[in-house]
Structure 1
Amino acid sequence: MNLRDLEYLVALSEHRHFGRAAAACYVSQPTLSTQIKKLESDLGAPLIERGARGVLFTMAGEQVLARAKTVLAGTEEIRAIARYATDPRAGTLRLGVFPTLAPYLLPHVVPEIRRRLPDLRLLLVEERTAELTDMLHAGSVDAVVLATPVEDSFESLPLFREDFVLAVPSGHPLAATSGPVTTGALRGQDILLLAEGHCLREQALEVCSQVGAGERDGFRATSLETLRHMVAAGVGITLLPQLSVAPPVPQYDGIDLIPFADPAPYRDIALGWRRAGVHGGLMTELADILRTATQHGPRPLGE
């Protein structure tokens, strides 16, 4: 058994087809098939069920697969240690960001990361918070940008505080307000929210519970863009993070944006990474870039 055999097994799990897995590994299909059979022979147990409906993993195969992924992640960590020892700023960094922040933060910060860390190979991953946390534990990403609180098992640095703004349809009674509103203006309102699994949903629900607002029945959006379209269509009102309405994000016709008076509802954003991760030396510099690259709205934290 060798690492390459484990890579073949993982590729087979991802593609569920010998031909596609072989192509992904840049080997012929007979080579991959032979090595999988050799792995089964070495272990003395069948790992794969080969049938007309494609590839299925046996119970033993699923258990071996899980451990193979762990071994390969550890191997990549070893390689990263070696690269980092040579030049900490010239390796690969896999950075995860959650969906209600990634499209609005990254256009600000990626050019600055490239300018200040020109030899760093940055790989970006967009997933919900729970998935990013799992990926960080598993070694699939090296660092994550999350809304606080960050798990105690991770190292973290505060980045910035992002206020929420109120988005209402043009013509809504609240749109006639001449200035900022208090969160009390939400009392009795039904708020459009994201679906389960988005941290922004939980943050908005907390605001609603504090002021006596509720969730709009029968609607849960999968993205901020859907929320925006629904507000513009007059379906309801919602809370949006500052970066999602700041330039270069275009303004939507049919929506009025109303700031909240202090104390405004907000979310704090932090950078997290594994305590034993090999990129720890880069995190302070990366955090500084993430804090200062946004020019609109969010207040830097932890400077």
Structure 2
Amino acid sequence: MTLTQLSYIIAVDKYRHFATAAEKSYVTQPTLSMQIHKLEDELGVTIFDRSKSPVVPTEIGEKIIAQAKIILNESKQISDIANFKEDELQGKFKVGIIPTIAPYLVPLFIRSFIKKYPNVDLIFEELITSEVLEKLGNDQLDAGIIATPTEKSFIYTEDLYVEPFVGYLSHSHPLIEKEKLTINDLDRANIWLLSEGHCFRDQTVQLCKEIQDHKEPSVEFKSGNLETLKRLVEQNFGMTLLPWTAISEHKDSCSNAVIKEFEAPIPSRKVRLIYGRKHLKKTVIQAFKESITNSIPSELKDNDEKVLVE
């Protein structure tokens, strides 16, 4: 029995197709099938029912796959323990981060982190929340940064900061004369939204959910990028909501649109660091968290009068 064989049966269980599992495992299908047959012969059991399409595990196969996941996760901790010692951090550290946080947060702390920990290779991947959780569960990531709570039992959470929302308005918008916005000012039909799957879209919709008699917008634009929505507003079309970090650097210099803060209670989101391996908590996880919290602006450390939207 080898770790490679265990990884192959986990892949087949995930994709329920031998060819797809082989492709995702970067091997040929005959190689993957042969290794799984060897494992079945060694154990004297059939792990997969190949008569069904898609392929499914047998009853004993389900138990073997569950144990295989535990074994693989535990085996990866050996290299982690060796790489991330108490007195020195080194090796690769893979982080999944959602697109509405990545371009605004990463530049704040990355220079200080790599200067302090030059032997850690940071690898960032922009993903929506569901993808971060899936890859963390599959041990494809070491940590994630998201803005919604998670109820996954294997996930550990560290709060980083609470970030307020602001309105980003075109010069012709009806709310332009208001000094500050209120939650009651929001009209879902008059706000540019991110495409489905982005938690920031869900949070915006949640703020608008009690407003009645929505009109359908004359133009619909599905985007996964806040910067695209900002450009639309700057072309004198409507408004959007933005996290505070998306406008902090340009707050005083923006001339193509108008930034409006909210009156209390201020709609906000909590940004969280998540991970799935306990033993990293005292080393790289804490070093990573400290670099972030030490680098964020003071405005994000004040939680007074903020109401979380999750």
In the alignment, is the contact (CA less than 8 A) between 1:89 and 1:117 conserved in 2? yes
- 1:192–1:215 Cα contact (<8 Å) kept: no
- Contact preservation (8 Å) 1:129, 1:198: yes
CA deviations 1:188-247 (Å, max 9, x no partner) are 86322223332212321232246x377774646332234334434555322111112233
* TM-aligned CA deviation for residue 122 of structure 1: 2.2
Give TM-score scaled by structure 1 length: 0.73
Query: What SS does the corresponding residue of 2:144 show, helix, strand or coil?
Result: strand
Distance change (3 Å), C-alpha of 1:21 and 1:37: farther
Partners of 1:158 and 1:301 within 8 A in 2? no
Partner of 1:266 in structure 2? Answer: 268
Distance change >3 Å, CA 20–CA 144, structure 1 → 2: closer
Contact 1:168–1:231 (CA under 8 A) maintained in structure 2: yes
Structure 1 residue 105 displacement after superposition: 1.2
Structure 2 length-normalised TM: 0.72
Q: Which amino acid aligns with 1:167?
A: Y
Aligned to 2:306: none
Aligned residue runs from structure 1 range 231-270, under 5 A: 231-247=233-249, 254-270=256-272
Q: What's 1:294 paired with?
A: 296
In the aligned structure 1, how far is the partner of 2:255 from the partner of 2:72?
A: 50
SS of the residue corresponding to residue 185 of structure 2 reads helix
RMSD over equivalenced CA pairs, Å:
4.1
Q: Residues 165 and 135 of structure 1: is their aligned pair in 2 closer, same or farther, counting only changes over 3 Å?
A: same
1:158 alignment partner in structure 2:
159
Shift of residue 115, structure 1, vs aligned partner: 1.5
The question of whether the paired residues in 2 share the 8 Å contact of 1:104 and 1:243 is answered with yes
Asked if 1:59 is matched to 2:56, the reply is yes
Query: Which amino acid in 2 is paired with 1:182?
Result: T
Q: Specify whether residues 198 and 85 from structure 1 end up closer, same or farther in structure 2 by C-alpha distance, changes over 3 A only.
A: same
Residue of structure 2 equivalent to 1:180: 180
Stretches of structure 2 that go unaligned for 5 or more consecutive residues are: 304-310
Residues 278 and 21 (structure 1 numbering): CA distance in 2 closer, same or farther, change over 3 Å? same
State the SS of the aligned residue for 2:279.
coil
* Aligned counterparts of 1:215 and 1:278: Cα–Cα separation in 2: 50
Structure 2 counterpart of 1:243, which letter? T
Instruction: Confirm whether residue 146 of structure 1 aligns to residue 146 of structure 2.
Output: yes
